[in-house]
Structure 1
Amino acid sequence: MKKQWWHEKVAYQIYPKSFMDSNGDGIGDIQGIISKLDYLEKLGIDILWISPVFQSPMVDNGYDISDYYAIDPMFGTMDDMDQLITEAKKKNISILMDLVVNHCSSEHPWFQEAMKNPEGPYGEFFYIKDGKDGKAPTNWRSYFGGSVWEKLPGHDNKFYLHSFAKEQPDLNWENPLVREKIYEMICWWLEKGLGGFRIDAIMNIKKDLTWENLPADGPDGMADVYKVSQRVSGIEKFLMEMKERCFDPYDAFSIGEAMFLKEDNIKNFIGENGYFSSIFAFEPCHAYRKGKNYKEYVWPQPFKEWREETFHNQKIIGNTGFEANIIENHDQPRGASLFIPEEDYGFHSISALATILMCQRGLPFLYQGQEIGMCNRRWKLSEFDDLETMSQYQVAVEAGYSSNQALEICRHHSRDNARTPMQWNDKEYAGFTAGIPWLPVNENYKEINVEKQEVQYGSVLNFYRRLIAFRKSEKYKEILTYGDFKPLYQEEESIFAYTRELEEKKLVLICNFSGQPAEITLTEDYENVIFVNYQQTTMIGKKLQMKPYEVVVLE
């Protein structure tokens, strides 16, 4: 495998609206991020992915972009963005922006022009179709519920396609001029010094141009739009063109939000000449998703399925490329709540989860607050901000769940859990803002915050710092980056274990991911215990006596 500049790095996602507010308006901003670069450097972060800060009406928290060449005033200015890129480079931190090019905002000038004249050139920038007797052209259901088709304002029988919210019209990638405009924009940003992009919803850019109905999968007679991307071919042309035109000339890091990939297609996406540098390993952390709606999700994460999905993912990826390993992001509940039963939450369970993640093959990708063990909030219905959450609440109620049951389901699974303000200290609003935060702070901020954990050697924060330093150490970075991954003790009830092997070197991770003690019989002799989350490891002969949520790395 050809070595790349990003292989030995550790990445971190920032949801800017909730990270740090520098001006007291209750909304995180770019200057707030700049003020915390020292913190991120000390943590050991090399790559910083920043969720959308482009100009936007904020219908979907910035994933509806009205100007790709402007920073939204709520986050700051273009000068602020330039300063962030410059200051981050001084600390050897590469900045990634969130590239949203499946759709734009309905307030984007392109769509405004398309509404005026759908038969004109900007009408071809979108998918605008005649209806069937005044009804939608197809029965496709959007990701946020309801039809993907919305009537074009001012036109009786014309509809435009939106895979997400109606304020997010899909861009027509079949139009070469649209692609050219997108590539120009990407290169403009890379010229500014960006390290690359995370590419949002990219698997949706290829449509089924037959515009045929899909078999209904619900009582509304509709079918989920994601099924369209699974039945069409041709996306390869678009992705390779974007790679060759934009990413290759700048040696940019690109990470795609690519789901539902078939095994034989992985090399095309992240192989030696793949479309992207990496893709996210969603399957392991989505093991709890047993259906398409919150009400069908399992809580907490089922251990065996998570372990099996991790091992399967590692097997099919092999040495083909590098996935980005995650336990949480802005679209999921908090990992410390999802993976760990509430009664087991604490230093040892959180540090065990962190070590399992960080020692796998692939690029470790943290999410803001993960490094201090931030967890889900106890919500009231009126406090939710997320469109998806409100839609899922209605789905549960309409399915017969009581309002309290539906609320509890949403408390577990809402994306708002990951979007509560970062907890910096125990002062008002967790030190996030001098104003009123746009989203409520988690009630536990007085106990769980950066300032408190900074001074505690045995805190989750300082454990993460040691863990990242261990992964990047001269002695172990090669094996932890490039070493083969092999599962161990798969027959054990609560043991998550694997080896990392490179040439003559071998490391073994064994974790008792359970609130009960466990005993493991070692099959080999090991010279050293090199990383732990308890002060003492107990080994009697070949038997490893493991305490609840104990993790050890052996050499």
Structure 2
Amino acid sequence: MNRKWWKEAVVYQIYPRSFMDSNGDGIGDLQGIISKLDYIKSLGVNVVWLNPIYSSPNDDNGYDVSDYRNIMKDFGTMADFDELLKGLHKRGIKLVMDLVVNHSSDEHEWFKQSRSSRTNPYRDYYHWWNAERGKPTPRYSLFDVNHDAWRYDSLTNAYYLHYFSRKQPDLNWENPKLRKEVYNMMKFWADKGIDGFRLDAFQFAAKDITWPKFPDGYEKNFSKYYAIGPHLHDYLKEMNKEVLSKYNVMSVAEGAGNSMKDAHNLVDADRNELNMAYAFDGVDIAKQGGYSLLHFKQVFSKWDSAFAQKGWLSIFLANHDQARMVSRFGNDGPDFRDASSKMLTTFIMTMRGTPYYYNGDELGMTNAGFDKIEDYRDVATLNEYKHQQNIGGDMKAYMKRIAFECRDNGRTPFQWNSTDNAGFTTGTPWIGVNRNYKTINEAAEDKDPNSILNYFRKMVQLRRQNLVLVYGKYTLIDKSNPDVYAYTRQLNGKKLLVLLNFKSTSASVKLSYDLEKAKVLICNYPQDSKDGTLKPYEAVVYEL
């Protein structure tokens, strides 16, 4: 058992724009987070991952950085950041920041210089294709209205590459000067005392400079062609040597490549690259119309098995790029939201790997219920809406799809109380507040000992007090059961049994254990049944 603080951490993700507004401008900010530090401490979590707060024109909610060493004015000042970091550390909580270096903003000084002339020293900080060579080989953009990743720029008669929005030009990692700039910027934040980096979209950072033509339809699985490009591991080894190895920081990659081999190459300790990966196979299961628990079990069991001896993973069901956890994986109706939220929390906190938990899910916050395109703010959603209009797409079907899966579902303001705007702001919120805030809010749940919030706190403590839930061997039970996810965790003679009913009806599980002799550590119902029969969305953890 190779103990590390980041393996034993419980990570709480804060989306700063939507967490708490301190000055009434409708946008969450650093002082807002500072005002809620005691709440964060009360959760029992010991790491906060903060979405980007750097200077940005905000085309993609801060993932378009115009100055990596400054704070976005909407969020406050560097003095506010220093106060936040100090306040977290005082409470025994570490801070992990997003590192957004696959691309920058087109308003970054590097890009302004780069596009000014072909001979500018910053020209090779980005990927350019001179127009006299003809049109570049097509590339798919995730966020562009036309999904064209090449943007023509008349100033130098050339195209620049952007895998995301046209205001997010991709950085050229083949340039050692660019890499040195990034490492110096990372040292700037590490010297301030932050505790880790989450590398946003970094699996796409290494581009194939030969620009091959990809097969028709490649955009349906663009990750296969974009991820883990040439020299990516060289860049990560260099980053580790220059920065990560010199500080006691954790590092996590967004994305884990296209295979278990890719994932291991990113995170195995003897490779000296990153600590863990954030793989999307699990969250990609949830689809409009439901998902198969058998598929869910197979995916999570496969990843656990692949990393049983070597490497480390993240466990999560939601983040800022996903709709709400209970709406996708549970049941957000009034009868089952409570039980299914608690059940999903139990799953995340009892699996091997570092759990990541998204702000608001501890209250059982649900999808937004938006029904007009004007309600949405997400650049990818708005541009895809225009694209569907342009190609004569089925707009009714598109609206139904985004109501279920759009990222904005997870970005509505945190529901603090039943006052106007859920107590998030005294002004007009940058995005609409979920209409159910009068019943689903922190103030109400904090007072209720049986609330989703207080269950989350108990689950966090259970994990932190039982190393078997961190490092213990995972064994799947009753594999072909379509309704119940059952498994054991075992370490140093201690064995826990986890039973999770993923259905809105009662279900049973085949067990070879005598539950009468087992000790109940936690259950999301007032009383568990000791015969292997589970109530709708029941979750129970036994010590055998």
Question: TM-score band, normalised by the shorter chain?
Answer: over 0.9
Matched with 2:306 is: 316
Closer, same or farther: CA 154–249 of 1 in aligned 2, 3 Å: same
Shift of residue 368, structure 1, vs aligned partner: 0.7
Tell me whether 1:241 sits opposite 2:242 in the alignment: no
Q: What amino acid sits opposite 1:488 in the alignment?
A: I
Any conservation in 2 of the 1:423–1:430 contact (CA below 8 Å)?
Answer: yes
Matched with 2:327 is: 337
Matched with 1:500 is: 489
Q: What amino acid sits opposite 2:149 in the alignment?
A: V
Any conservation in 2 of the 1:50–1:95 contact (CA below 8 Å)?
Answer: yes
- Name structure 1 gaps, 5 residues minimum: 289-296
Q: What amino acid sits opposite 2:243 in the alignment?
A: C
CA distance in 1, matches of 2:220, 2:470: 41
CA distance in 2, matches of 1:400, 1:39: 48
Q: What amino acid sits opposite 1:144 in the alignment?
A: F
Q: What amino acid sits opposite 2:143 in the alignment?
A: F
Give the 3-state SS of the residue equivalent to 2:317 in structure 1: coil
CA distance in 1, matches of 2:281, 2:398: 25
Any conservation in 2 of the 1:285–1:306 contact (CA below 8 Å)?
Answer: no
Give the 3-state SS of the residue equivalent to 2:351 in structure 1: coil
Shift of residue 519, structure 1, vs aligned partner: 2.4
Q: What amino acid sits opposite 2:278 in the alignment?
A: F
Give the 3-state SS of the residue equivalent to 2:282 in structure 1: helix
Give the 3-state SS of the residue equivalent to 1:140 in structure 2: coil
CA distance in 2, matches of 1:514, 1:61: 36
CA distance in 1, matches of 2:75, 2:438: 27
Shift of residue 401, structure 1, vs aligned partner: 5.2
Q: 1:551 aligns with which of 533, 539, 542?
A: 539
Matched with 2:142 is: 143
Q: Deviations over 1:239-279 (max 9, x none)?
A: 11111211110021111102334212333222223421111
Any conservation in 2 of the 1:284–1:307 contact (CA below 8 Å)?
Answer: no
Matched with 2:59 is: 59
Q: What amino acid sits opposite 1:319 in the alignment?
A: Q
TM-score by length of 2: 0.95
Matched with 1:292 is: none
Give the 3-state SS of the residue equivalent to 2:122 in structure 1: helix
Q: Deviations over 1:76-115 (max 9, x none)?
A: 0000001111111000111111110111111111111111
Q: 1:517 aligns with which of 497, 503, 506?
A: 506
CA distance in 2, matches of 1:395, 1:44: 44
Any conservation in 2 of the 1:88–1:95 contact (CA below 8 Å)?
Answer: yes
Any conservation in 1 of the 2:205–2:229 contact (CA below 8 Å)?
Answer: no
Q: What amino acid sits opposite 2:433 in the alignment?
A: V
Give aligned-pair identity as a percent. 37
Shift of residue 395, structure 1, vs aligned partner: 5.4
Tell me whether 1:453 sits opposite 2:406 in the alignment: no
Matched with 1:256 is: 253
Q: Within 5 A, what are the aligned runs for 1:250-289?
A: 250-273=247-270, 274-288=272-286
Shift of residue 170, structure 1, vs aligned partner: 0.9
Q: What amino acid sits opposite 2:459 in the alignment?
A: L
CA distance in 2, matches of 1:351, 1:345: 10
Q: Deviations over 1:389-413 (max 9, x none)?
A: 1234355556765432221111111
CA distance in 1, matches of 2:223, 2:532: 46
Q: Deviations over 1:290-309 (max 9, x none)?
A: xxxxxxx5433432222221
Q: What amino acid sits opposite 1:93 in the alignment?
A: I
CA distance in 2, matches of 1:96, 1:50: 6
Tell me whether 1:406 sits opposite 2:362 in the alignment: no
Closer, same or farther: CA 223–550 of 1 in aligned 2, 3 Å: closer
Give the 3-state SS of the residue equivalent to 2:381 in structure 1: helix
CA distance in 2, matches of 1:419, 1:316: 33
Matched with 2:416 is: 424
Q: 2:460 aligns with which of 457, 468, 478?
A: 468
Q: 1:304 aligns with which of 294, 302, 306?
A: 294
Shift of residue 284, structure 1, vs aligned partner: 1.2
Q: What amino acid sits opposite 2:538 in the alignment?
A: E
Q: Deviations over 1:455-509 (max 9, x none)?
A: 0011000000111111112xx2x11111011111111120111110113111110
Q: What amino acid sits opposite 2:93 in the alignment?
A: I
CA distance in 1, matches of 2:444, 2:227: 48
Any conservation in 2 of the 1:115–1:153 contact (CA below 8 Å)?
Answer: no
Shift of residue 228, structure 1, vs aligned partner: 3.3
Give the 3-state SS of the residue equivalent to 2:58 in structure 1: coil
> What RMSD in Å do the two structures reach over aligned CA positions?
1.8
Any conservation in 1 of the 2:331–2:337 contact (CA below 8 Å)?
Answer: no
CA distance in 2, matches of 1:203, 1:521: 41
CA distance in 2, matches of 1:399, 1:517: 46
Tell me whether 1:326 sits opposite 2:316 in the alignment: yes
CA distance in 2, matches of 1:513, 1:129: 51
Give the 3-state SS of the residue equivalent to 1:73 in structure 2: coil
Shift of residue 224, structure 1, vs aligned partner: 6.7
Q: 1:347 aligns with which of 338, 344, 347?
A: 338
Q: Deviations over 1:107-155 (max 9, x none)?
A: 11111111112222110111111236653x1111111142111112413
CA distance in 1, matches of 2:79, 2:117: 36
Q: What amino acid sits opposite 1:307 in the alignment?
A: K
Q: What amino acid sits opposite 1:123 in the alignment?
A: R
